[in-house]
Structure 1
Amino acid sequence: METQVNHPTPDSIMQIGTGFWASKILLSAVRFQLFTTLAERKTMTAAEIKSHLGFKCTDRNVFDYLDALTTFGFLNREDILETAKYSNNANTDFFLDKKKPTYIGGLLEMLNNRLYGFWGNLEEGLLTGQQQNETKAGDDLFKKLYEDPDRLKEFIHAMSGIQMGAFMALAQKFDFSNYKTLVDIGGSAGLLSLLVAKQQPHMSCISWDLPVVAPVAIETIQQFQLQDRVKTANGDFFKDQFPQADVITMGNILHDWDEKTKLMLIRKAYDALPEGGAFVAIEGIIDDDRNKNAFGLMMSINMLIETGSGFDYTFADFNKWAKEIGFRSTSLLPLAGPTSAAIAYK
């Protein structure tokens, strides 16, 4: 009997190497608001899409573009070529229709408008250890964002987009039964607070962030019609103490900073909690073996691009920091996709 030999294959190399092709096809579709248009019209032919979006390329280019989106699983299609009719699938209709509160395209818009170009400088970032975004001129990233209302709004909605699934899972999976109040530090558009309040009717929540962010959060709260149990409050987590609450959350906050700043933020959370309270950090927690959560590792590299000194971390890292601050115990709660909640109990 011949022994079967597993020969080397270039499949994974080519898939990753050409990955930016697929990425740009999706990102451009979000920029063109294709999924929002299809949510309104239900089905459209390639010719109708070409006319609506103002494409000047050939019909064959349009067929290839739409059929690639279909092959990726983002569109449904009946028939083929000239007679084909395209529509959203359930995921794109739910998450990529800009008129729905569940829209996560803000992240994809930021990937397209900012990070797609910045990641082209990854080699320089690794060689120099320096940021590769707007701050290469020496400006502070967040200061630059806060100075540009349009860019700030895009960033805020991007942060909501990247955490939508995880926040929904946290609201359902975390045991809130012994708690009544929650403060989300760096709450951005207020999405975490809103999803918790929606799922847990006994909870009152505060989305705590800089004053410049409040108008976006207030607008989102009004969309959800939860003004009675979700409020905004203003503060700067570098200068101010955190408001007291039974649960303190941070979504994609800790990874922005170096270890010294991470410890400072965790200590402030500890000080704001009662005995038995919980601190919850929601991020792409890297697995302790550092060989499974590729998204968490890539996000950590993205922190090099964006901040220069920030990094994502393992649960072992979080556990060490929490115990150093004085928390009595920790746990890890898997949420959605590569995102987990690292929890520390006082």
Structure 2
Amino acid sequence: METAIQPSPAAILQMGTGFWASKVLLTAVNFELFTYLSKKSNQSAKGIKSLLDLKCTDRNTYDFLDCLTGLGFLKREGLLETARYSNTVDTDIFLNKANPSYIGGILEMMNERGWGIWGNLDEGLKTGLIQNEAKNGGQPIFDLLYGNPELLKNFVDGMTGVQMGNFIALSQKFDFSNFKTLVDAGGSAGVLSLMVAKHNPHMNCITFDLPPLESMANETIQKFQMAERVKVMSGDFFKDGLPKADIVTMGNVIHDWDEDTKIKLIQIAYDALPKGGVLIAIENVIDNERKQNVFGMMMSLNMLIETGDGFDYTFDDFNRWAKKVGFSSTELLPLTGPSSAAIAIK
């Protein structure tokens, strides 16, 4: 005889208070706690309290650090007064500012911007209007970024860290053997081009983006010592089109726009490719049944908040748009986590 499943509010309460856990992590990143612990591991709560100049009680400090421990972001030996705290493997690699693998830039932006504007999701759904700084007459997100070098660097570093696994996966999973040239549209710091060139020595790549990204991309290329096979080109692909290449890549670019502009972007890529050329869009492609890739759907809501009319899409959507432009076939290549490469062949 089967036991009846007992109703439980646990999952509802956990999700409903999920922003508490998020703010605990974002606060630790804002305090640069993980960077401090990378330099001075095995610290007491009182030592951390002093280091961060916290004015709360010792009990508040224990609660904060033990939340981070329970959430899996810190390791702890001992309890309360005797407790000693250290980074986990993941926080030591990805949340230590001294590491090139640091992805905290995107979390810093979440704390500074995303935290506030996501509180307007209900209004965004009711009105269908942008909910970020531009809502009250401020600058649109990309104007804000391009006008603030420090904020732009934090954003680019964070997005690069988030996407690095996808770029490496693409460079190793996709068969580049029949191609020689690649242009990465919206190439940011140039890391996608660098990963493709690094893992495929016959490939020559161009990272293409607006002028404010040029110096950052050149700096990254020099760091990897790959200036012979990875070049930087500045321009606006809506106005200038794209350089001719065997492959065009777009990493988290297409989702920024409404459907007509998405199709226009795919057309721009099509025009830059020869017969047999390939467009590769790296996105959080939503599963066609819209049940599994919840992160992709939340990213789509983020596009509502940030752009008003941008959205993430399913592979069926991509296939329809690509066929409308003239691509002969499409396929989907899973990368890491919720991300995939939507591929169209001319």
Please confirm whether the aligned pair reaches a TM-score higher than 0.5, indicating the same fold: yes
Following TM superposition, by how much is the alpha carbon of 1:234 offset from its aligned partner in structure 2, in angstroms?
0.2
- Pairs within 5 Å for 1:261-340: 261-340=261-340
Select between 220-229 and 293-302 the one with higher mean Cα deviation.
220-229
The residue that corresponds to 1:26 in the other structure is 25
Q: 1:42 to 1:156 in 2, by over 3 A?
A: same
2:36 aligned with 1:37, yes or no? yes
Select between 335-344 and 64-73 the one with higher mean Cα deviation.
64-73
- Pairs within 5 Å for 1:56-75: 56-75=55-74
Tell me the distance in 1 between the aligned counterparts of 2:249 and 2:105: 21
Tell me the distance in 1 between the aligned counterparts of 2:308 and 2:69: 37
Please list every run of 5 or more consecutive structure 1 residues that lacks an aligned counterpart in the other structure.
none
Q: 1:197 to 1:82 in 2, by over 3 A?
A: farther
Select between 141-150 and 98-107 the one with higher mean Cα deviation.
141-150
Following TM superposition, by how much is the alpha carbon of 1:70 offset from its aligned partner in structure 2, in angstroms?
1.5
Select between 112-121 and 37-46 the one with higher mean Cα deviation.
37-46
2:75 partner amino acid: N
Q: 1:44 to 1:206 in 2, by over 3 A?
A: farther
Q: Secondary structure at the match of 1:77?
A: strand
RMSD: 1.6
- The superposition leaves residues 303-344 of structure 1 with CA deviations (integer Å, 9 ceiling, x where unpaired) of 110000001000000011111111111111111111111011
Tell me the distance in 2 between the aligned counterparts of 1:32 and 1:223: 28
Following TM superposition, by how much is the alpha carbon of 1:46 offset from its aligned partner in structure 2, in angstroms?
1.9
1:284 partner amino acid: N
Tell me the distance in 2 between the aligned counterparts of 1:206 and 1:43: 45
Tell me the distance in 2 between the aligned counterparts of 1:228 and 1:78: 50
The residue that corresponds to 1:234 in the other structure is 234
Tell me the distance in 2 between the aligned counterparts of 1:189 and 1:163: 11
The residue that corresponds to 1:11 in the other structure is 10
The residue that corresponds to 2:131 in the other structure is 132
Q: Secondary structure at the match of 2:228?
A: coil
* TM-score, normalised with respect to structure 2: 0.95
Q: 1:55 to 1:223 in 2, by over 3 A?
A: farther
Q: Secondary structure at the match of 2:240?
A: coil
Following TM superposition, by how much is the alpha carbon of 1:59 offset from its aligned partner in structure 2, in angstroms?
1.7
**4+ residue stretches of structure 1 with deviation over 4 A?**
none
Cα pair 2:102 2:158 within 8 Å, conserved: no
1:177 partner amino acid: S
Tell me the distance in 2 between the aligned counterparts of 1:320 and 1:84: 57
Q: Secondary structure at the match of 1:264?
A: helix
Following TM superposition, by how much is the alpha carbon of 1:215 offset from its aligned partner in structure 2, in angstroms?
1.8
1:183 partner amino acid: V
Q: Secondary structure at the match of 1:239?
A: helix
Aligned length: 345
1:334 partner amino acid: P
Q: Secondary structure at the match of 2:238?
A: coil
- The superposition leaves residues 245-273 of structure 1 with CA deviations (integer Å, 9 ceiling, x where unpaired) of 22211111000000111011111111111
1:70 partner amino acid: T
Identity %: 62
The residue that corresponds to 2:104 in the other structure is 105
The residue that corresponds to 2:202 in the other structure is 202
Q: 1:194 to 1:35 in 2, by over 3 A?
A: farther
Tell me the distance in 2 between the aligned counterparts of 1:212 and 1:142: 11
1:162 partner amino acid: V
- The superposition leaves residues 55-113 of structure 1 with CA deviations (integer Å, 9 ceiling, x where unpaired) of 11122222221121121112222222222222222222222121222111111111111
The residue that corresponds to 2:260 in the other structure is 260
- The superposition leaves residues 27-54 of structure 1 with CA deviations (integer Å, 9 ceiling, x where unpaired) of 1111111222222233322222222111
Following TM superposition, by how much is the alpha carbon of 1:165 offset from its aligned partner in structure 2, in angstroms?
2.3
- Pairs within 5 Å for 1:70-81: 70-81=69-80
1:320 partner amino acid: R
Tell me the distance in 1 between the aligned counterparts of 2:98 and 2:236: 31
Following TM superposition, by how much is the alpha carbon of 1:213 offset from its aligned partner in structure 2, in angstroms?
1.4
Please list every run of 5 or more consecutive structure 2 residues that lacks an aligned counterpart in the other structure.
none
Following TM superposition, by how much is the alpha carbon of 1:10 offset from its aligned partner in structure 2, in angstroms?
1.0
Cα pair 1:131 1:307 within 8 Å, conserved: yes
- Pairs within 5 Å for 1:169-184: 169-184=169-184
Q: 1:327 to 1:208 in 2, by over 3 A?
A: same
- The superposition leaves residues 218-253 of structure 1 with CA deviations (integer Å, 9 ceiling, x where unpaired) of 222233333333221101021011011222111110
